Amino acid sequence: MIEMYTARTSEIDELDDAIQEIKGQIDFSALKKYSGGLIFCHIDFIDIGMVAKLCEELPFPIIGMTSMAGADEHGYGLYDLTLTVLTSDEVRFEVGMSENINRDNYLAETDRLYRAVRGKVDSDPAMIITFMPHVRDVAGYEVVAAMDTACHGIPLWGSITNNIDFNYETVETVCNGKSRRAGVAMMFLMGPVEPKFIVSSLPARSISGSRALITKSSGSILREINDTPVLEYLAKMGLVITKENITTTPLMMYYADAKEPVALGFYTLFEDGSLLTGGEMPEGTSFAVGSIDAEGIYESAEAGLESILAIPDRNVTLLLPCVTRYLMLSPNQEGELQLIQSRLSNTGKPYMMGYSGGEICPMPGADGKLHNRFHNYTFCACIL
């Protein structure tokens, strides 16, 4: 069994006061034989050295990342630091982080990272929590695919880094006090762990009833749909994609090996009219165009929260909704945070939430097994 404790602070000016505030919210004498920590925070907590000092003072391994906002059962905020401690007498925790990754080295670095952490322990982990960097020349799904290959399909759950800087220039991953702009961080959970994964993307009413086929693509770049240039095809559907509205149109991908569709988004509009997306676009794959609005965001969040509340024996609740959901809720951008807080804070069970720059969460495949997936727009949760 794993137990969970949380702590948070918004103190950014007095480093020692902030650390004492965090440490004062957790009874460290109650921790079990093994423990591991997770941090979501604003970049300032890394820049002033608080994260490094906090990790140095805490007696267990820690990974973390910058996030638009963090929350636990005690509150939420955009400029806070939230710490979760997972502790158990049966489940062990081990962590590691890669060097900064790029197009040339990400395959080797993800493989090296997994091997390095695996070399510290005597068995494969039951699951891996991972925080991956936003790297402009490496798509999120490519790093997830590389890690999936390295770990031979062990369930991965986690996020791409993000922050209040929408250009993703001030994002970091953290491991045991060290932080890197483009490092991949991971935590092994070894022992009797049976995670439950919750994925709630778009309500059915927000997904078109008609599907189209990808007929020309390259990796995550979409070029033609039904033998028609992508922008021309979408325009016929009444969707005029521009650089200003590019993030507002989800695609529901019906991968051949997936039991349920996977939500992905557009990232970049190229001069030749092709579109960079959040995931792989295999030719011959069908998809449906979706729509995202405030009502749909609340509806999918409610569905995800209902799934969480339907698990009465949960001890650990970790949430990573897509940061695009926060942006799309303008002007009531904190609406989803408030909904999560209202539904979970009074249950008597702890939770931790951060916004995600791209969600990493397994989904059942057509073969009935879990397959690691990269998502956009999605409300993701991991329950232990």
- Burial 322-352, CB ≥16 within 10 A → b, else e: bbbbbebbeeebbbbbeebbebbbeeebbbb
One domain, residues 213 and 190: no
CA dist 51 and 318 (Å) reads: 20
In this prediction, residue 166 carries a pLDDT of 65
In this prediction, residue 90 carries a pLDDT of 97
Mark which of 240, 260, 291 sits at the end of a domain: 291
Q: Which domain holds residue 74?
A: 2-199+297-383
One domain, residues 11 and 107: yes
DSSP string, 216-238: EEETTEEEEETTEEHHHHHHHTT
CA dist 356 and 320 (Å) reads: 6
Q: Which residues contact 327 (CB under 8 A, 6 or more apart)?
A: 166, 247, 333
In this prediction, residue 165 carries a pLDDT of 74
Helix (H) / strand (E) element for 299: namely helix 294-309
In this prediction, residue 167 carries a pLDDT of 65
Main-chain dihedrals φ then ψ at residue 162, nearest 5 degrees: -160, 180
In this prediction, residue 164 carries a pLDDT of 84
CA dist 257 and 184 (Å) reads: 26
Mark which of 267, 291, 315 sits at the end of a domain: 291
Mark which of 222, 257, 291 sits at the end of a domain: 291
Q: Which two tokens stand for residue 123?
A: 């068995």
Q: Which residues contact 246 (CB under 8 A, 6 or more apart)?
A: 266, 267, 268, 269, 275
* Paired sense of beta strands 317-321 and 379-383, if any: antiparallel
One domain, residues 182 and 211: no
State the first-to-last Cα distance of the chain, in angstroms, to the nearest integer: 8
One domain, residues 230 and 86: no
One domain, residues 64 and 179: yes
How many domains does one find in the chain?
2
Mean pLDDT for each 10-residue chunk of the chain (384 residues)?
96 92 94 98 95 96 96 95 98 98 97 98 97 90 96 97 80 96 97 96 90 95 96 92 87 92 91 92 95 94 97 96 93 95 94 96 92 96 98
User: Of the candidates 58, 50, 130, which has an alpha carbon nearest to the alpha carbon of residue 97?
Assistant: 130
Q: What are the distances in angstroms from CA 203 to CA 300, 306, 330?
A: 6, 14, 20
Q: Does residue 41 contact residue 51 with C-beta atoms inside 8 Å?
A: yes
One domain, residues 103 and 208: no
One domain, residues 157 and 222: no
In this prediction, residue 70 carries a pLDDT of 94
pTM of the model as a whole: 0.95
